[in-house]
Chains A and B, each alone.
Chain A
Amino acid sequence: MDRRDFLKIAGIAGIGLSIPGSIEALADQNETSLAVATGASPEKITRAAIEAFGGMKKFVSRDDIVVIKPNMAWDRLPEQAANTNPEVVAAVVKLCFEAGAKKVKVFDRTVNDPRRCYIQSGVADAVKNAGAEVIFTDERKFKSMKIQGEAIKEWPLYTEIFEADKVINIPIAKHHGLAKITMSMKNWMGIMGGERNQIHQKLDQSLVDLSLKIKPALTVLDAVRILTANGPQGGRLSDVKKLDTVIVGVDQVAVDSYGATLFGMKGSDLGYVRIAAESGVGTMDLSRVNIKKISI
């Protein structure tokens, strides 16, 4: 075989290999890539939004060990909208078990005292009742990992995230003094050990670096109540807006880009969404995302 023949064969093979990919991409256009459900019951809208993807079975397989990462970093009550809505988290836990999950673990590395955050947020009780294991983070399980990003090279991260079969991110959408809005990508700060508050020095890039390291099977953005000011821990009920909405997607950049619209912003207004889209983490341009809206 001479060089020319080789190139020919390689070329044909290349086309052949790329065809199934492009067919899949075409199919994607018709499938849901973002589901937005609105309604009075947090559990029902969560179920409906995930159903729009064909149900939890698409994401969780029989005997999977699933880690769920809500935001419950603050010693605040559910109505103050500083932590993920407990009913939304519990609904996801139930769906995981219905899909055959063996074990569901829920945790967060909190900012306020973890005991108070877990209880006062209402998340611990809600997910325990749904059968999940609620664990306090164990200092010994933060292990230094290579990230090789632009801003973070190496950081201690919580090992259980990487040992799980599936990871589901369930942030809440709320105001933040530096990030402007905190949603899915920023929720990964909750698995960082060490002196994580240093990343505020290069926050947008750090969040993108982190997002490249963690591959959630699914992201459920809680917008049942959103916090519009005084975030990320709020406290005042007048800053809380009830939207009765959840947004579900696999692409966390798309989820955050959509989330920005709830605050009257665009994805491109958020530095970390813009950089993430440029780095190929996901899609920021919502016109290229197939959004299914459900109302219950």
Chain B
Amino acid sequence: MQNSRRLSQAIFLLAFLFLFIQTESKGADELGYPVKLFLDFDPLIFVTTLLSSHAAQKTFYLSFVVIIATLISGRVFCGWVCPLGTLNNIAGYFKRRKVGVKILDWNKVKYYLMISLLASSLFTLQLTGVIDPLSLLIRSFSLSVYPLFNYGISAMFDTVYDLNPRGIVDVSESIYSLFRQSVLSFQQPHFRQAAFVGMLFFLILGMNLYEKRFWCRNLCPLGAFLGILSRYALLKRSVSEGCTECGACSFECQGNASPDKKEQWKPTECFYCWNCDDICPHNAVSFGFHSRSVSKSSPGIDLGRRRVIASMMGGVITVPLLRVNPLSQSNMLSTKLLRPPGSLEESEFLKRCVKCGECMKVCITNGLQPAFLEAGLEGIWSPMLVPKVGYCEYRCTLCGQVCPTGAIKRLPLQEKMKVKIGLAMIDKSRCLPHAHATPCIVCEEVCPTSTKAVWFEKSIVKNREGRVIEIQQPGVDLQLCIGCGICEAKCPVKSQPAIYVTNIGESRSDKNRLLLT
């Protein structure tokens, strides 16, 4: 059984990585792969999004597959499918095997976390994505693990290229080009907070050295959700009379489900990894749908009524706690908070965004970056456009295509090209033609709307020598500008661009309007 489980884990991990790598533009309008598929199967995201925003994305009905699978055969998702579980599983192999070391009995923590998340979401606060395993994994890979993988591989080949040892460069360059065509990203991604997000991820992997599957056993809210369901699972474990309680299965257990204690086996903690069955020297363990099960005597989850209530209270209190912040009023957004085109109005947006980072991974210019506190703590790791890093490509609709919860609407191209994410304005004290009598037309040249939002006024100016020059000075037509930020991204005054976009005038907000129209 162990080998079939490993095979299944490998297949799902590879499928995950494949879809992850495909979350990248090839130049066509559509991606061609259902890259957010894993998130569509996530029932916890489904339920909390439903509670917080009262909206269900159609594709989320796929998560019923996971719910049904759990009702039949327990937390097989954790043991056989979940890619983060598989990575934890692999990291767990590095743990030194010590017999008789007491482990933390923290497995209830995940239930309290889940209860808090559900309570928050009932009161419109969506924080699940922060610790949902799939969302967390995609985000960590997008913002940190994959960029550092790219950096490492490219740096290696670049070093060979620069040193140029005879005969080797051709070989290394052809291997490099194979890498570029298969697993490397088109251009090196850069993300703010890459180190922070990455350290959290590696911390989760590192915890396996303390206790294997630490995250899955003790913290994972999706595991808790499935754990509650698996209490009623049809597939049960039974132990025959042959069991001598030798404890051989105890260390092999992935889920800390007390397999060595015949009657005390905890179905809610079991990943159905079959290790206890495989290892048992007396062949006394079996899994089956038989009625002669131990279920009637097996313990449920005793979470304690007071603690459950405390968790709920915690979740409920978090809602106002995060919202009594001027930034969460829609007319007081941080000026630089430019949301991707098609984003819902800010409060609706936050109710749905699960911070999975798919939009940031797919953004063709790398301009979508994780927010830190620009949208309050509630909006941590939600996407914002930073034009200095990358502008919004006029004819691209990818972020809306990959958003799993509809926080960014999927817009047809013609509609997307009209969405204002903000407005550009000129800093005349820095602009070359305005302040320094020097010709420059870059913002006008790159402006993608037709008619162009950046227009010229021919002016006669004098330079320092008193020579009179005719110069074209740019202005912005606020009716036409969509705030894509290409002008800011390409402005030669790089340190602090002389034309820049803020979110005033964004189409999604009624309160952030500028023009009387």
- The interface of chain A, by Cβ under 8 A from chain B, is 75-76, 111-113, 115-120, 124, 136, 140, 176-178, 195, 197-198, 200-203, 230, 232-236, 239
Contact = CB atoms under 8 A, between A and B. Distances in A.
B424 to A, nearest CB: 16
Given A197-B492, A198-B492, A239-B450, A113 B26 contact: no
B341 to A, nearest CB: 15
Interface in B181-211: 186
A200 B393 contact: no
A235 B364 contact: no
A235 B439 contact: no
B441 A177 contact: yes
Interface residues of B, number: 32
Given A116-B396, A197-B490, A200-B440, A234 B450 contact: yes
Nearest to A140: B161
A117 B28 CA distance: 10
Given A195-B492, A197-B490, A230-B451, A75 B445 contact: no
Given A178-B445, A230-B452, A75 B393 contact: yes
Contacts of B450: 230, 234-236, 239
A203 B490 CA distance: 17
Interface in B1-52: 25-28
A116 B396 CA distance: 9
B445 A176 contact: yes
B264 interface: no
A200 B448 contact: no
A119 B441 contact: no
B395 interface: yes
Chain B interface main SS type:
loop
14 contacts: A75-B395, A75-B396, A113-B365, A116-B396, A136-B186, A177-B441, A178-B445, A197-B442, A200-B439, A200-B440, A201-B432, A202-B439, A203-B439, A236-B451
Contacts of A233: 445-446, 448
Nearest to A111: B446
A202 B393 CA distance: 28
Nearest to A116: B27
Nearest to B364: A113
Interface string B468-496: 00001000000000000000001010100
A202 B437 CA distance: 12
B94 interface: no
Contacts of A235: 448-450
Contacts of A76: 395
B27 A119 contact: yes
A104 B364 CA distance: 28
